[in-house]
Chains A and B, each alone.
Chain A
Amino acid sequence: MNDLGKPVPSSPTRRDFLSRLLKFWSLVTVIPIGTAIIRYVTPVQRDVDVRESLRVASVQDIERNTAKIVRFNKEPVIIVHTRTGQFKAFSARCTHLGCIVQFKSEGTPHFICNCHGSQFDINGINIAGPAPRPLSPFKAKVDKSSIVVSRI
């Protein structure tokens, strides 16, 4: 109130103005800061040396009816030397929740995942347990007594 009994509008108006300004400022800063944080915590795909094919083992390394797990780029790949002498390769990651599968040579050869009991036949097809898809196949061929794995 001033001495004429009229309200003095100036100070509340200034506060109103500043608080509106503050709200506006908060809004325009929260969004970019939030975006920056989300982008920061999201891992970047770094350029790894992606190879189309890789010489991963020699034929003598894997006896018949056994398997070996090798790293192909970032993927663990299981190479099986079948009873009939073929080489087959699959991603060793179980399609259920990503555990590394194991080759079982007894009886009918197959793959099992010990984490939740999924099973895959020798062609990588899911036959039991919670796995929803077959193991992803890779190409395995013999080149001068070594095994070369490549993408299909």
Chain B
Amino acid sequence: MSRFLPVASSVYRWLEQRLPVASVADYFSKKVVPRHKHSFWYYFGGLTLFFFIIQLISGILLALYYNPTQEHAYESVRIIINEVPYGWLIRSVHSWSANLMVGTLFIHMFSALFMRAYRKPRELMWVSGVILLFVTLGFGFTGYLLPWDTMAYFATLIGTEVPKTLPIVGDWGVSLLKGSGEVGAETLIRMYSIHIILLPLVALFLISFHLILNQILGSSVPIGTQVKDPPVPFFPNFLYRDLISWVLGFLVLISLSILAPWGLGEKADPLASAPLGIKPEWYFWPLYQSLKIIPPTVFSINGEMIVNGVLGIMSLFWLLIPFIDRKASIEQKSRPFTVVGAALVLYLILMIGFAYFDI
């Protein structure tokens, strides 16, 4: 072993003359993570990143066999599941990891909200995080159609109609998503290219931005929380803890993927009536359920338009929270934002519950 050390050190010297490894390492070594009673919640950002990396790897593998055409999409997924060695596992991991990623992302986001991690100087971390939430939901929506089974087909049929009540751009938005007058071959190729080219590029850029900000600004401590001394050095102490959470995340992921492998429904038939139980993925259930329970017109306004309007206003509000919550930015408690956050969590849970039990 010791024979290799001179080689290693000469490689290091060679590198050091071309890339300042030592000063970069020194910069990273100064990063610390504060310790306090809420520091448990810090792990969920890292877990979300872990599931994203799994998505990249499993997605690249799936793309080797998947065929994004209306004739062959379903069949290619069937071949991946039934014939390609371990194909069922890769596909199952991709679907489960997507769901786990959305789950950890929601936990990460709401913990950041309740701990006011968005307050000055971390406004841009919040904003990039919220855009990453939209990107993630976009990943979910565009990926859902790709297997081209009945559920995927009808869920996309509904989803692509959602923008139609938007003023001025409504019809254009629908045609932009569908790529033609109906959900068909053009829609599939659009969803596919958005899913594997556009969104991954945007996500990688935003994640890098989010992580660089985290490196520069460090982790936020909730207002008025007692910090224990000394803080945990990020390298290697906190990284090891993060890795433990990744191992646990991996165990959950692999158990789900093996014990409850993701299935494939019947091939979509555009001339068949929608069967019972057409639903999007669980993270779209609050929207699905809201669209289901809203009457056609409320005070002579179209119901869907109300849902879309509320969704649009909420999204904008969510994005701009750091700039609206003036109190938190001067380190004062801002209770209304806890109330709003808790109300939203309650609404999401209720709607997901209603949708689950088909109420």
Contact = CB atoms under 8 A, between A and B. Distances in A.
Interface in A72-91: 74, 76
A60 B120 CA distance: 73
B178 interface: yes
Interface string B277-307: 1100000000010011111110000111000
Contact of A76 (B179, B271, B275): B271
Contact of A74 (B157, B176, B181): B181
Contact of B178 (A43, A45, A69, A100): A43
Contact of B296 (A92, A98, A115, A132): A132
Contacts of A97: 157-158, 161-162, 291, 304
A129 B197 CA distance: 38
Nearest to A128: B296
Interface in B124-183: 154, 157-158, 160-162, 172, 175-176, 178-182
A18 interface: no
Interface of A: 41-43, 45-46, 69-71, 74, 76, 92, 96-103, 113-117, 126, 130-132
Interface in B59-78: none
B180 A101 contact: no
B121 interface: no
B186 interface: yes
A70 B271 contact: yes
B274 A115 contact: yes
Contact of B271 (A42, A46, A96, A100): A100
Interface string B238-277: 0000000000000000000000000000000011111111
Given A42-B172, A43-B176, A97-B157, A116 B291 contact: yes
Contacts of B275: 114
A69 B272 contact: yes
B178 A102 contact: no
A69 B271 contact: yes
B278 A114 contact: yes
13 contacts: A96-B296, A99-B157, A99-B274, A100-B154, A101-B273, A113-B274, A114-B275, A114-B276, A114-B277, A115-B158, A116-B288, A116-B292, A126-B296
A88 to B, nearest CB: 16
Given A99-B158, A116-B158, A116-B291, 15 more contacts: A42-B176, A70-B271, A74-B181, A74-B182, A97-B157, A97-B158, A98-B158, A100-B154, A102-B273, A114-B273, A114-B278, A116-B292, A126-B296, A130-B296, A132-B304
Nearest to B177: A43
A114 B274 contact: yes
Give me the 5 closest cross-chain CB pairs, A-B, nearest first: A102-B273, A132-B296, A97-B161, A99-B274, A116-B292
A99 B278 contact: yes
A71 B270 CA distance: 9
Contacts of A76: 270-271
A42 B178 CA distance: 10
A114 B155 CA distance: 11
A132 B178 CA distance: 22
Nearest to A112: B273
Contacts of B303: 130, 132
Contacts of A116: 158, 288, 291-292
Contacts of B278: 99, 114-115
Contact of A115 (B154, B160, B175, B293): B154
Interface string B181-212: 11000100000000000000000000000000
Nearest to A68: B271
Contact of A131 (B158, B172, B186, B296): B296
A130 B291 contact: yes
Contacts of B176: 41-43
A80 B154 CA distance: 22
B294 to A, nearest CB: 6
Contacts of A98: 157-158, 160-161
Nearest to B293: A130
A69 B273 contact: yes
Given A42-B175, A43-B178, A115-B158, A102 B296 contact: no
A43 B186 contact: yes
